[in-house]
Structure 1
Amino acid sequence: MSTDNRTALLNLIATHSFRLGDFTLASGQKSDYYIDCRTTTLHAEGGRLSGLLLYDLIREHFPQAEAVGGLTMGADPLVSNTASASAWHFHQHHHNRPPHDNELVHGFLVRKAEKMHGTGRRLEGFHKIGAHVVIVDDVCTTGGSTITAIESTQESGMNVIGVLCLVDREQGGRANIEAAVPHAPFHALFTANDVRAAHIALKQP
C-alpha cells in the first residue's frame, strides 16, 4: 500500500470530513467530533485515493474477492472507485487485451429497503450465487449499517469473506461486525484518532 496515498487521503478526510464540536450521532450517542466521509469520497481526488487504497487492501487480504459492495449511500462512491481501481490496475499490467470478468473486482450496492417495482431486488449490480465478496463502509460506529449490508448480501446467496471500513470510530462497531461474520476479517484504513490527530496537525478549524 502506498504510504503517500494513505497520508494524502488521511489529510483530505481531516480537512473535508472532520469537525470538532458538540454533536449527537445517528446512534444517539454524544460526541465531541463529527465525521462525514462523503465530502471526501465524493471529492474527485478523495474518491480516487479511497478506491486505490481499498483495492490495495483487497489485493493484500482478499485476493479471491470477485466483488465489493456496501449499503447505500455511504458505500456508493467507495464501491464505484474500488471497482474502477481494479480495472485501472488490470490495464496497467495487461495492455493488449480486454479483461475477463473474473480478473476484476466488480461492484454492488445494497438498498436500505427492497425495491417495490421491477425486480424487487435488494442488491443492485454484481450478483452471483456463491461469489466471494467484500463489504465496505465509510464510517463504522456501532457497525449497524455494515451488518445490514452483510446480512442482505448473505441472504442473496453470496459469501462475505471480509469487511473494510474507511474510518473506525472505535465505539464497538468492530466487535459487533466480527461477531456477525466471525469468518470474515475486518480491516479499517484509519481510526477516528488518526483523523483527529491529522486535523489538529493541519490546524483545521
Structure 2
Amino acid sequence: MAEKDNLSRENMNKEKLAAEEQVEAQDQEINNDKSAENQEASSEQVKGENGSSEELSVEQKLQAENQELKDKYLRLYSEFENYRRRTSKERLDLIKTASEGVLKDLIPAVDDFERAIKAEEKAEGNEKSLEGSLLIYNKLIKILESKGLVPMKDLIGNNFDADTQEAITQIPAPSEEMKGKVIDVVEKGYMLGDKVVRYAKVVIGS
C-alpha cells in the first residue's frame, strides 16, 4: 500500500514538473516572439531614419547645385553685358576714327572754297557764278555736318579758351571789356562730336 502511494506521488511530481516545464517553454517562446518583434520594429525605425537622412541630403545637394548654376548664369550674363557694351563702344570709336581722317583732310578744301567765295563777292558781274558756288558750298557744309564735323561758332567777343583755340597773336584791345577775349578769327576751328579736330587760330586782346 505504501509502495503504491509512493509511486502515485512520484507520478504526480513528474506530471507537475512536466507541466511546469511546458509552461516555461511557452513563456520562453512568447518572450522570443516579443524580442523578435522589438528587433524588427527597431530595424524598421533605423531604416526609416536612414531613408529620411538620405532624402534630406539629396534635397540639399540639389539646392546647392541649383544655387551654383544661378551664380554661373549671373556671372556669364554680367560678362556678356560688359562685352556687349565694350564692343559697341569700340565700334563707335572705330567709325569715328575712320571718318575723322577723311573729314580732317577736307577742311583745307573748305577753307579754299570760302576764300574763293569771298573773292567772287568782291568781283563785279559774278552774281551767277557766286550763286552757284554758294549752292555747292552750302551742300558740302551740310554733308560734313551730317557726319558730325561742325565749325566753332560765335568765338569773337568771348573769352579765350585754350582747350579749343590757339592764340597766334595779341593786339591792343579796343576796349577794357575785350581784354583777354577773342578779337578776330584767322582760321576756323572744327569739332567732330566732342573732339577738337582743328584748333581755331584766333587773335586776342591785351
Bigger relative contact order (CA 8 A; separation at least 6): 1
TM-score (norm 2): 0.21
More strand by share: 1
Q: Which has the larger radius of gyration?
A: 2
